[in-house]
A = this chain, B = another copy of it.
Amino acid sequence: MVNFDYQTPTRLIFGRGVVAEKLRDVMAQYGPRVLITYGGGSIKRSGLYDQVIDLLADKEIYELPGIAPNPKFNPSVIDGVRLCKEHSIDVILAVGGGSVLDCTKAIAGAACSDADPWDVVTGKVPTLSAIPIVDIITLAATGSEYDSGAVISRTETCDKLAYFSRHVFPAVSFIDPTYTFTLPVKQTLAGIADCINHIMEQYFCSEHIMMNDAFMTGAVRSLVANVKKVLAQPDNYDARAEIFYATTLGCNGIYALGNSAGGWPMHAIEHALSGHYDITHGEGLAIITPRWMAHILRCTEGELHEQAVERVTSFGRDVFGTTTAAESIAAIHDFYKSIGIPMTLHDVCIDDSRIDEMAHHVAVNEGLEHAWVPLHEADIAAILRDSL
């Protein structure tokens, strides 16, 4: 078991009706100047925007709308930082999915620095403090509501960068599963795939403990069972709630404290896909997953190969009841396909024309030669080609 230093100070307020019940009290702890960040119009159509404005009637409200999926440094982070500085914002209230919250984290950190915001996001300049963040998370997927990380894209350079700072943990996250009742099926499924992959990235490693294996495969079993329930009945509260809880824990480390690091290879490869083609992150992950699993069985030998076979086999056994490594890979592929996730790059309109470019980008930027199963440029290209 490896040493760890863990802290997640975020308060989770979870359940039906929690915004009406507690948002006003929570926001009363901060000063009057609130920046509300959000994405497209969905929170206006759902009535959540009006509810929030109503609950914050005693506040001085500023707004940053239009934050896109795979949130962009330019214009969203830049505009947010400017608004925070111009209006001496006391607290940022992010209302939306993981992209809105990720963008908000970058704004909160960069707004407390005199440095160029891009230098803060890339970590060239350390984040020493941040504007407090409260969020109302409306999408069960990234787990950003319970971690200190964000992924920010810079379109000009096809960069998709991870930004981390302990200062950008949300102070309070409101999670009401009823907000997910009306999600498009595509987003529900992409969120599930995102979370399953977060768990798999932590499951596949050299050193692991029994408890964490039980936590992680238990969470994936729950996601597999509950996604079928919500496809049949989108307003099944208990199924939506358990999915949201599983995704909330996905990225803060609690599933795998004491495990060794695996290197998050599937995310690294997917970031090249969505960085180059702006596809839905969860779909990209689902496509990569079985191809990465198959590749690590092929590209390893000796003790590492035995480890790879053991992990692939045990994951399938404990989630799907399969018995061999090949069956485990087929089971995760077939599960995704059965619920309607596109499972080839062609399905998401990506052909082979930029595979070498993407493989090179990943090899240069992501450090996968240090992953649990080391991956070099040729491995990455092979995984991408297998995904076509």
Contact = CB atoms under 8 A, between A and B. Distances in A.
A210 B12 contact: no
A16 B9 CA distance: 24
A257 to B, nearest CB: 7
A65 to B, nearest CB: 29
How many subunits of this chain does the assembly comprise?
Answer: 2
A211 interface: yes
Interface residues of A, number: 42
B211 A219 contact: yes
A43 to B, nearest CB: 21
Nearest to A22: B5
B14 A5 contact: yes
Contact of A210 (B16, B213, B237, B242): B242
Contact of A213 (B209, B218, B226): B218
Contacts of A221: 210, 214
A195 B7 CA distance: 22
B15 A11 contact: no
Interface string A1-24: 111111111111111111000100
Q: Which of A22, A211, A245, A254 has the most CB of B within 10 A?
A: A211
B7 A10 contact: yes
Nearest to A2: B15
A38 B216 CA distance: 37
Contacts of A241: 1, 209, 258
A50 interface: no
A225 interface: yes
A257 B13 CA distance: 11
A222 interface: yes
Given A209-B242, A222-B211, A4 B15 contact: yes
Given A7-B9, A9-B9, A211 B14 contact: no
A11 B18 contact: no
A10 B7 CA distance: 6
Interface in A179-225: 209-211, 213-215, 217-219, 221-222, 225
A246 interface: yes
A215 B18 CA distance: 25
18 contacts: A1-B177, A1-B238, A1-B242, A3-B18, A4-B12, A5-B13, A5-B14, A6-B11, A6-B12, A6-B14, A7-B9, A8-B8, A14-B257, A209-B222, A209-B241, A214-B218, A215-B215, A218-B218
A222 B210 contact: yes
Given A5-B22, A210-B222, A215-B215, 17 more contacts: A1-B242, A3-B15, A3-B17, A4-B15, A5-B13, A6-B12, A8-B8, A9-B9, A14-B257, A211-B218, A213-B218, A214-B215, A214-B217, A214-B221, A241-B258, A242-B258, A254-B254
A245 B211 contact: yes
A3 B14 contact: yes
A7 B146 CA distance: 11
B245 A257 contact: yes
Contact of A237 (B1, B218, B222, B225): B1
B5 A242 contact: no
A175 to B, nearest CB: 10
Contacts of A6: 11-12, 14
A11 B7 contact: yes
